[in-house]
Protein backbone atom coordinates (compact mmCIF):
# COMPACT_ATOMS: atom_id res chain seq x y z
CA UNK A 1 0.00 0.00 0.00
CA UNK A 2 2.84 2.35 0.78
CA UNK A 3 4.89 1.52 -2.34
CA UNK A 4 2.21 3.08 -4.56
CA UNK A 5 1.53 5.90 -2.05
CA UNK A 6 -2.10 4.87 -1.85
CA UNK A 7 -2.55 5.91 1.79
CA UNK A 8 -0.78 7.86 4.51
CA UNK A 9 -0.04 6.80 8.07
CA UNK A 10 -2.99 8.85 9.36
CA UNK A 11 -5.34 8.28 6.43
CA UNK A 12 -8.82 7.03 7.44
CA UNK A 13 -9.46 3.87 5.43
CA UNK A 14 -12.78 2.29 4.51
CA UNK A 15 -12.44 -1.34 3.43
CA UNK A 16 -15.05 -2.64 0.98
CA UNK A 17 -15.59 -6.26 2.03
CA UNK A 18 -17.93 -8.66 0.27
CA UNK A 19 -16.78 -11.67 2.29
CA UNK A 20 -14.99 -13.30 -0.64
CA UNK A 21 -11.38 -14.42 -0.36
CA UNK A 22 -9.89 -11.23 -1.84
CA UNK A 23 -11.66 -8.74 0.40
CA UNK A 24 -11.28 -10.96 3.47
CA UNK A 25 -7.51 -11.03 2.87
CA UNK A 26 -7.55 -7.24 2.42
CA UNK A 27 -9.17 -6.85 5.85
CA UNK A 28 -6.53 -9.00 7.57
CA UNK A 29 -3.68 -7.22 5.77
CA UNK A 30 -5.10 -3.83 6.72
CA UNK A 31 -5.45 -4.91 10.35
CA UNK A 32 -1.83 -6.12 10.43
CA UNK A 33 -0.58 -2.84 8.97
CA UNK A 34 -2.75 -0.76 11.29
CA UNK A 35 -1.47 -2.68 14.34
CA UNK A 36 2.09 -1.98 13.16
CA UNK A 37 1.38 1.75 12.80
CA UNK A 38 1.76 1.57 9.02
CA UNK A 39 -1.89 2.31 8.20
CA UNK A 40 -4.42 4.76 9.59
CA UNK A 41 -7.75 4.00 11.31
CA UNK A 42 -9.85 1.41 9.46
CA UNK A 43 -13.55 0.70 9.10
CA UNK A 44 -15.30 -2.04 7.15
CA UNK A 45 -18.26 -1.70 4.76
CA UNK A 46 -20.44 -4.53 3.49
CA UNK A 47 -23.09 -3.87 0.85
CA UNK A 48 -26.00 -6.33 0.74
CA UNK A 49 -27.38 -6.29 -2.82
CA UNK A 50 -30.36 -8.59 -2.10
CA UNK A 51 -29.57 -10.66 -5.18
CA UNK A 52 -28.77 -14.10 -3.74
CA UNK A 53 -31.22 -14.66 -0.91
CA UNK A 54 -29.93 -16.60 2.11
CA UNK A 55 -26.42 -16.82 0.65
CA UNK A 56 -26.17 -13.04 0.63
CA UNK A 57 -27.46 -12.92 4.21
CA UNK A 58 -24.61 -15.27 5.12
CA UNK A 59 -22.12 -12.96 3.39
CA UNK A 60 -23.32 -10.04 5.52
CA UNK A 61 -23.09 -12.06 8.73
CA UNK A 62 -19.56 -13.17 7.85
CA UNK A 63 -18.44 -9.60 7.08
CA UNK A 64 -19.85 -8.34 10.37
CA UNK A 65 -18.10 -11.13 12.29
CA UNK A 66 -14.85 -10.28 10.53
CA UNK A 67 -15.16 -6.61 11.49
CA UNK A 68 -15.84 -7.58 15.10
CA UNK A 69 -12.83 -9.92 15.15
CA UNK A 70 -10.53 -7.17 13.89
CA UNK A 71 -12.06 -4.42 16.03
CA UNK A 72 -13.12 -2.35 13.02
CA UNK A 73 -16.25 -0.15 12.97
CA UNK A 74 -18.81 -1.89 10.74
CA UNK A 75 -21.03 -0.27 8.14
CA UNK A 76 -23.73 -2.24 6.39
CA UNK A 77 -25.75 -0.91 3.47
CA UNK A 78 -28.81 -2.72 2.09
CA UNK A 79 -29.66 -2.02 -1.55
CA UNK A 80 -32.45 -3.75 -3.44
CA UNK A 81 -30.59 -4.03 -6.74
CA UNK A 82 -33.21 -6.19 -8.53
CA UNK A 83 -35.88 -3.63 -7.70
CA UNK A 84 -33.78 -0.71 -8.93
CA UNK A 85 -32.98 -2.59 -12.14
CA UNK A 86 -36.66 -3.39 -12.66
CA UNK A 87 -37.45 0.30 -12.30
CA UNK A 88 -35.21 1.03 -15.27
CA UNK A 89 -32.05 2.23 -13.54
CA UNK A 90 -29.82 -0.10 -15.61
CA UNK A 91 -28.86 -3.76 -15.62
CA UNK A 92 -28.26 -5.40 -12.27
CA UNK A 93 -24.47 -5.49 -12.54
CA UNK A 94 -24.26 -1.78 -13.43
CA UNK A 95 -26.76 -0.80 -10.72
CA UNK A 96 -24.90 -2.85 -8.10
CA UNK A 97 -21.57 -1.24 -8.95
CA UNK A 98 -22.97 2.30 -8.97
CA UNK A 99 -24.86 1.91 -5.71
CA UNK A 100 -21.96 0.09 -4.04
CA UNK A 101 -19.57 2.97 -4.65
CA UNK A 102 -22.21 5.53 -3.66
CA UNK A 103 -22.62 3.65 -0.37
CA UNK A 104 -18.84 3.64 0.08
CA UNK A 105 -18.70 7.42 -0.38
CA UNK A 106 -21.39 7.88 2.28
CA UNK A 107 -19.75 5.46 4.71
CA UNK A 108 -16.35 7.10 4.27
CA UNK A 109 -17.88 10.53 4.89
CA UNK A 110 -19.49 9.23 8.09
CA UNK A 111 -16.25 7.61 9.26
CA UNK A 112 -14.26 10.79 8.58
CA UNK A 113 -16.80 12.88 10.49
CA UNK A 114 -16.32 10.62 13.53
CA UNK A 115 -12.58 11.24 13.30
CA UNK A 116 -12.95 14.97 12.57
CA UNK A 117 -11.00 14.52 9.32
CA UNK A 118 -11.95 15.97 5.90
CA UNK A 119 -13.39 13.27 3.66
CA UNK A 120 -10.88 14.29 0.98
CA UNK A 121 -8.15 12.82 3.20
CA UNK A 122 -9.84 9.43 3.47
CA UNK A 123 -9.52 6.44 1.18
CA UNK A 124 -11.82 3.67 -0.01
CA UNK A 125 -9.85 0.43 -0.39
CA UNK A 126 -11.09 -2.30 -2.71
CA UNK A 127 -9.72 -5.82 -3.04
CA UNK A 128 -9.28 -5.98 -6.81
CA UNK A 129 -6.43 -8.31 -7.71
CA UNK A 130 -4.18 -9.01 -10.68
CA UNK A 131 -6.79 -11.59 -11.75
CA UNK A 132 -9.50 -8.91 -11.92
CA UNK A 133 -7.18 -6.69 -13.89
CA UNK A 134 -6.36 -9.43 -16.39
CA UNK A 135 -10.06 -10.26 -16.79
CA UNK A 136 -10.80 -6.59 -17.48
CA UNK A 137 -8.06 -6.53 -20.11
CA UNK A 138 -9.57 -9.47 -22.00
CA UNK A 139 -13.13 -8.15 -21.62
CA UNK A 140 -12.13 -4.79 -23.06
CA UNK A 141 -10.26 -6.49 -25.90
CA UNK A 142 -13.59 -8.09 -26.87
CA UNK A 143 -15.97 -5.12 -26.52
CA UNK A 144 -13.51 -2.29 -27.19
CA UNK A 145 -12.27 0.49 -24.92
CA UNK A 146 -11.30 4.14 -24.85
CA UNK A 147 -7.93 5.85 -24.32
CA UNK A 148 -5.93 4.12 -21.61
CA UNK A 149 -8.46 1.31 -21.29
CA UNK A 150 -5.84 -1.41 -21.57
CA UNK A 151 -4.11 -0.24 -18.40
CA UNK A 152 -7.22 -2.04 -17.07
CA UNK A 153 -7.33 -0.59 -13.55
CA UNK A 154 -5.66 2.29 -11.74
CA UNK A 155 -3.96 1.72 -8.40
CA UNK A 156 -5.68 4.91 -7.32
CA UNK A 157 -8.61 6.76 -8.83
CA UNK A 158 -9.73 9.69 -6.70
CA UNK A 159 -10.59 8.45 -3.23
CA UNK A 160 -10.58 4.80 -4.36
CA UNK A 161 -7.34 2.81 -3.97
CA UNK A 162 -6.61 -0.76 -5.06
CA UNK A 163 -3.60 -2.01 -3.10
CA UNK A 164 -3.79 -5.68 -4.18
CA UNK A 165 -3.50 -5.27 -7.95
CA UNK A 166 -0.07 -6.91 -8.06
CA UNK A 167 -1.25 -10.02 -6.17
CA UNK A 168 -3.18 -13.00 -7.50
CA UNK A 169 -6.29 -14.54 -6.02
CA UNK A 170 -4.31 -17.73 -5.46
CA UNK A 171 -1.71 -15.84 -3.42
CA UNK A 172 -4.39 -14.26 -1.25
CA UNK A 173 -6.12 -17.57 -0.62
CA UNK A 174 -2.79 -19.07 0.31
CA UNK A 175 -2.31 -16.20 2.76
CA UNK A 176 -5.70 -16.90 4.39
CA UNK A 177 -4.98 -20.62 4.68
CA UNK A 178 -1.52 -19.95 6.14
CA UNK A 179 -3.04 -17.54 8.64
CA UNK A 180 -5.44 -20.23 9.85
CA UNK A 181 -2.74 -22.93 9.83
CA UNK A 182 -0.45 -20.86 12.07
CA UNK A 183 -3.19 -20.24 14.63
CA UNK A 184 -3.77 -16.55 13.96
CA UNK A 185 -7.30 -15.25 14.62
CA UNK A 186 -9.63 -15.90 11.69
CA UNK A 187 -13.34 -15.56 11.02
CA UNK A 188 -15.26 -18.54 9.68
CA UNK A 189 -18.76 -18.88 8.31
CA UNK A 190 -21.32 -21.43 9.52
CA UNK A 191 -19.70 -24.13 7.38
CA UNK A 192 -16.26 -23.35 8.79
CA UNK A 193 -14.99 -21.71 5.59
CA UNK A 194 -12.37 -18.96 5.76
CA UNK A 195 -14.21 -16.89 3.14
CA UNK A 196 -17.52 -16.86 1.33
CA UNK A 197 -18.03 -18.22 -2.19
CA UNK A 198 -20.42 -16.57 -4.64
CA UNK A 199 -21.83 -19.43 -6.69
CA UNK A 200 -22.79 -17.08 -9.54
CA UNK A 201 -19.08 -16.51 -10.23
CA UNK A 202 -19.05 -19.94 -11.88
CA UNK A 203 -21.94 -19.18 -14.26
CA UNK A 204 -20.20 -18.84 -17.62
CA UNK A 205 -23.27 -17.22 -19.21
CA UNK A 206 -22.07 -14.08 -17.43
CA UNK A 207 -19.39 -12.21 -19.38
CA UNK A 208 -16.77 -11.90 -16.63
CA UNK A 209 -17.27 -15.49 -15.50
CA UNK A 210 -16.85 -16.64 -19.10
CA UNK A 211 -13.55 -14.77 -19.40
CA UNK A 212 -12.43 -16.03 -15.97
CA UNK A 213 -13.19 -19.70 -16.55
CA UNK A 214 -12.71 -20.07 -20.31
CA UNK A 215 -10.32 -17.48 -21.75
CA UNK A 216 -7.82 -16.90 -18.96
CA UNK A 217 -7.14 -20.61 -18.29
CA UNK A 218 -6.56 -21.14 -22.02
CA UNK A 219 -4.06 -18.27 -22.05
CA UNK A 220 -2.29 -19.72 -19.00
CA UNK A 221 -1.79 -23.00 -20.86
CA UNK A 222 0.36 -21.07 -23.33
CA UNK A 223 2.11 -19.02 -20.65
CA UNK A 224 2.03 -20.24 -17.02
CA UNK A 225 3.49 -16.85 -16.01
CA UNK A 226 0.56 -15.00 -17.55
CA UNK A 227 -0.20 -13.00 -14.40
CA UNK A 228 3.32 -11.67 -14.02
CA UNK A 229 3.63 -10.85 -17.72
CA UNK A 230 0.22 -9.17 -17.95
CA UNK A 231 0.76 -7.00 -14.86
CA UNK A 232 4.11 -5.85 -16.22
CA UNK A 233 2.56 -5.11 -19.63
CA UNK A 234 -0.42 -3.23 -18.17
CA UNK A 235 1.86 -1.15 -15.96
CA UNK A 236 3.90 -0.23 -19.03
CA UNK A 237 0.70 0.79 -20.79
CA UNK A 238 -0.26 2.80 -17.69
CA UNK A 239 3.05 4.69 -17.70
CA UNK A 240 2.59 5.62 -21.34
CA UNK A 241 -1.05 6.52 -20.71
CA UNK A 242 -0.05 8.89 -17.91
CA UNK A 243 2.40 10.63 -20.25
CA UNK A 244 -0.19 10.97 -23.02
CA UNK A 245 -2.80 12.23 -20.55
CA UNK A 246 -0.40 14.94 -19.38
CA UNK A 247 0.20 15.97 -23.00
CA UNK A 248 -3.55 16.01 -23.69
CA UNK A 249 -4.17 18.22 -20.64
CA UNK A 250 -1.69 20.78 -21.96
CA UNK A 251 -3.49 20.81 -25.32
CA UNK A 252 -6.81 21.28 -23.55
CA UNK A 253 -5.40 24.22 -21.60
CA UNK A 254 -4.25 25.89 -24.84
CA UNK A 255 -7.00 24.95 -27.25
CA UNK A 256 -10.24 24.34 -25.35
CA UNK A 257 -12.39 27.12 -23.97
CA UNK A 258 -15.22 26.20 -21.58
CA UNK A 259 -18.27 28.20 -22.54
CA UNK A 260 -18.97 29.11 -18.94
CA UNK A 261 -22.54 28.85 -17.73
CA UNK A 262 -24.07 28.74 -21.18
CA UNK A 263 -26.89 28.53 -21.87
CA UNK A 264 -28.03 31.73 -20.11
CA UNK A 265 -30.79 31.18 -17.61
CA UNK A 266 -33.46 32.67 -19.88
CA UNK A 267 -32.49 30.42 -22.78
CA UNK A 268 -32.23 27.38 -20.51
CA UNK A 269 -35.74 27.97 -19.21
CA UNK A 270 -37.07 28.39 -22.73
CA UNK A 271 -35.57 25.18 -24.13
CA UNK A 272 -35.68 23.06 -20.98
CA UNK A 273 -31.93 22.60 -20.56
CA UNK A 274 -30.24 22.94 -17.12
CA UNK A 275 -27.96 25.97 -16.83
CA UNK A 276 -25.08 23.77 -15.65
CA UNK A 277 -24.94 21.80 -18.94
CA UNK A 278 -21.35 21.82 -20.15
CA UNK A 279 -20.36 23.37 -23.47
CA UNK A 280 -16.94 23.88 -25.04
CA UNK A 281 -15.24 25.73 -27.89
CA UNK A 282 -12.36 24.00 -29.66
CA UNK A 283 -10.12 26.79 -30.92
CA UNK A 284 -8.78 26.61 -34.51
CA UNK A 285 -5.32 25.62 -33.21
CA UNK A 286 -6.84 22.35 -31.93
CA UNK A 287 -7.02 21.12 -35.50
CA UNK A 288 -3.23 21.21 -35.81
CA UNK A 289 -2.55 18.87 -32.88
CA UNK A 290 -1.65 15.16 -33.33
CA UNK A 291 -4.73 13.04 -33.93
CA UNK A 292 -4.20 10.60 -31.00
CA UNK A 293 -4.00 13.52 -28.55
CA UNK A 294 -7.03 15.19 -30.12
CA UNK A 295 -8.99 12.02 -29.48
CA UNK A 296 -7.92 11.93 -25.84
CA UNK A 297 -9.03 15.52 -25.30
CA UNK A 298 -12.39 14.89 -26.96
CA UNK A 299 -12.91 11.70 -24.96
CA UNK A 300 -12.57 13.66 -21.72
CA UNK A 301 -14.79 16.53 -22.92
CA UNK A 302 -17.56 14.16 -23.97
CA UNK A 303 -17.32 12.32 -20.65
CA UNK A 304 -18.01 15.64 -18.95
CA UNK A 305 -20.98 16.36 -21.22
CA UNK A 306 -22.62 12.92 -21.18
CA UNK A 307 -24.41 11.17 -18.29
CA UNK A 308 -22.07 9.30 -15.94
CA UNK A 309 -23.22 5.87 -17.14
CA UNK A 310 -22.84 6.70 -20.86
CA UNK A 311 -19.98 5.26 -22.87
CA UNK A 312 -18.23 7.65 -25.24
CA UNK A 313 -18.66 6.32 -28.77
CA UNK A 314 -15.80 6.43 -31.25
CA UNK A 315 -18.20 7.66 -33.96
CA UNK A 316 -18.90 10.72 -31.80
CA UNK A 317 -15.21 11.55 -31.57
CA UNK A 318 -14.84 11.03 -35.32
CA UNK A 319 -17.79 13.35 -35.98
CA UNK A 320 -16.13 16.15 -33.98
CA UNK A 321 -12.80 15.65 -35.77
CA UNK A 322 -14.63 15.81 -39.11
CA UNK A 323 -15.40 19.47 -38.32
CA UNK A 324 -11.73 20.21 -39.05
CA UNK A 325 -10.45 20.12 -42.62
CA UNK A 326 -7.34 18.41 -43.94
CA UNK A 327 -5.41 21.63 -43.29
CA UNK A 328 -6.55 21.58 -39.64
CA UNK A 329 -8.84 24.60 -39.99
CA UNK A 330 -12.50 24.49 -38.86
CA UNK A 331 -14.95 23.85 -41.71
CA UNK A 332 -17.38 26.78 -41.50
CA UNK A 333 -21.00 25.64 -41.71
CA UNK A 334 -20.29 22.10 -40.48
CA UNK A 335 -23.08 20.80 -38.21
CA UNK A 336 -23.68 17.35 -36.74
CA UNK A 337 -25.71 15.80 -33.94
CA UNK A 338 -23.85 13.18 -31.89
CA UNK A 339 -24.73 10.95 -28.95
CA UNK A 340 -26.41 12.60 -26.00
CA UNK A 341 -28.07 15.04 -28.42
CA UNK A 342 -24.89 17.11 -28.49
CA UNK A 343 -24.55 19.60 -31.34
CA UNK A 344 -21.22 19.97 -33.14
CA UNK A 345 -20.94 23.15 -35.17
CA UNK A 346 -18.01 24.97 -36.77
CA UNK A 347 -17.12 28.44 -37.97
CA UNK A 348 -13.90 30.40 -38.29
CA UNK A 349 -13.77 30.87 -34.51
CA UNK A 350 -13.58 27.14 -33.89
CA UNK A 351 -15.78 24.12 -33.23
CA UNK A 352 -18.52 24.27 -30.60
CA UNK A 353 -19.83 21.33 -28.55
CA UNK A 354 -23.12 22.14 -26.82
CA UNK A 355 -26.55 20.67 -26.08
CA UNK A 356 -28.60 20.53 -29.29
CA UNK A 357 -31.44 22.52 -27.72
CA UNK A 358 -29.04 25.33 -26.91
CA UNK A 359 -27.57 25.25 -30.42
CA UNK A 360 -31.04 25.56 -31.94
CA UNK A 361 -32.03 28.39 -29.61
CA UNK A 362 -28.80 30.23 -30.40
CA UNK A 363 -29.35 29.82 -34.14
CA UNK A 364 -32.94 30.99 -33.81
CA UNK A 365 -31.80 34.16 -32.05
CA UNK A 366 -29.56 34.77 -35.04
DSSP 262: P
Q: What is the mean pLDDT of residues 190-201?
A: 86
Band (138; pLDDT cuts 50, 70, 90) = very high
Q: What is the mean pLDDT of residues 140-159?
A: 91
Percent of the chain at pLDDT > 70 equals: 91
Q: What is the mean pLDDT of residues 317-330?
A: 97
- How, if at all, do strands 350-355 and 342-347 pair? antiparallel
In this prediction, residue 270 carries a pLDDT of 42
Contact 27, 72 (CB under 8 A): yes
In this prediction, residue 307 carries a pLDDT of 87
Q: What angle do CA 118, 120, 125 make, to 5 degrees?
A: 115
Residue 160: φ, ψ to 5°:
-90, 130
Contact 353, 344 (CB under 8 A): yes
**Please, what are the domains in the chain?**
13-238 (3.40.50.620), 259-365 (3.30.465)
In this prediction, residue 300 carries a pLDDT of 94
Nearest by Cα to 89 from 342, 309, 316, 302: 309
Annotated binding-site ranges: 18-23
- Order of strands, sheet of 42-48, starting from the edge strand that comes earlier in the sequence: 74-78, 42-48, 13-16, 123-125, 160-161, 156-157
Tell me: the pLDDT tens digits for 269-290?
444 444 446 899 999 999 999 9
Strand partners, 42: 13
Please name the residue ranges forming H helices in the chain. 21-35, 53-70, 81-86, 92-115, 130-143, 169-181, 207-210, 216-222, 226-255, 265-271, 291-305, 314-321, 356-365
Tell me: the pLDDT tens digits for 61-86?
999 999 999 999 999 999 998 888 88
Band (366; pLDDT cuts 50, 70, 90) = low
Half-sphere exposure of 320 (CA within 13 A, CB side): 30
In this prediction, residue 260 carries a pLDDT of 65
Band (5; pLDDT cuts 50, 70, 90) = low
In this prediction, residue 276 carries a pLDDT of 46
Is 92 a residue whose pLDDT tops 90? no
Exposed / middle / buried, residue 135 (Cβ in 10 Å: 0-12, 13-18, 19+): buried
In this prediction, residue 317 carries a pLDDT of 97
| pTM for this predicted structure | 0.82
Q: What is the mean pLDDT of residues 19-39?
A: 95
- How, if at all, do strands 123-125 and 156-157 pair? unpaired
Q: What is the mean pLDDT of residues 286-306?
A: 95
Query: 83 or 124: whose pLDDT is higher?
Result: 124
Q: What is the mean pLDDT of residues 236-261?
A: 92
Is 352 a residue whose pLDDT tops 60? yes
In this prediction, residue 53 carries a pLDDT of 85
- How, if at all, do strands 256-258 and 280-282 pair? antiparallel
Contact 163, 155 (CB under 8 A): yes
Q: If you average pLDDT over every residue of the chain, what do you get?
A: 90
Band (263; pLDDT cuts 50, 70, 90) = very low
In this prediction, residue 302 carries a pLDDT of 95
Annotated binding-site ranges for ATP: 18-23
Least confident window among 18-27, 208-217, 267-276? 267-276
Nearest by Cα to 125 from 5, 3, 6: 6
In this prediction, residue 269 carries a pLDDT of 43
* Helix, coil or strand: residue 148: coil
In this prediction, residue 219 carries a pLDDT of 95
Query: 238 or 198: whose pLDDT is higher?
Result: 238
Is 156 a residue whose pLDDT tops 80? yes
Amino acid sequence: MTSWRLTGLDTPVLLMVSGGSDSTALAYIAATLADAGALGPCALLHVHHHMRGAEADGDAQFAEALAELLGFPFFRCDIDVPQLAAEGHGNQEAVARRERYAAAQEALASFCRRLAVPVSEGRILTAHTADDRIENFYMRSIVGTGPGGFRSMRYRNGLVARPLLDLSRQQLRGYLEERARTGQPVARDEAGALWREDATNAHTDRFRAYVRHKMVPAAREWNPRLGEVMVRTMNQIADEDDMLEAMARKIAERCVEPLGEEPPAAVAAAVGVPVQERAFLLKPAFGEEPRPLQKRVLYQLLREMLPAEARVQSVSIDAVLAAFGLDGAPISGYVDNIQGNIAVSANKKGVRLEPMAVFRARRKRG
